[in-house]
Structure 1
């Protein structure tokens, strides 16, 4: 070392941002999406992650065979009492209504369907 030479050192103190996440922890976090209406953004914020982490982990877990592939459309058998429709169907106009549920199910209703009938179907799908 030369005389009069100043050496400068930097010490970085703080939280290490690169964390290790075991597969079990990743799967646990992935399962939180959709529970109680939680979105990918909600779950990412809760765990101090980015949304991209969630999507990347989902892809990694699928590649390892630890996360199920989406199965497409599934039909459910519902036990509903044989009740008459509450109203006459109105002439069809507009687009069909599509209602998504937190559990991933989707209810599609034709245009002009009575509100009471839609509400009855919603209750059936939510309890199935």
Structure 2
């Protein structure tokens, strides 16, 4: 009629975690809209930003945001922004470069890699 009770009157506590059980339903993944992803990645690419803090603000894992950034940069969807170096000067002036009949104006926020690409394009045109 009733289950056998151990003589020392002890019991065992069993914890069941549904996500760990076989055949348990998969936890639903969040589906981030592309516009939201782009906005979060853009925010995470700003100079002097703490990517982990941005991730926490949106309730996501920092590794997920670092992955989104890496993929967006690799696909060419965004470009890594860099602080101007000390050699850029405190004045924040614009540099003009005359090459192949064209004038290229460069501000202090332009990265060296980007400037190289622009100058190569102007030379080859």
- Per the normalisation by structure 1, the TM-score is 0.39
Q: Find the structure with the greater CA-based Rg.
A: 2
Structure having the larger proportion of residues in helix = 2
Higher relative contact order (CA 8 A, sep 6+): 1
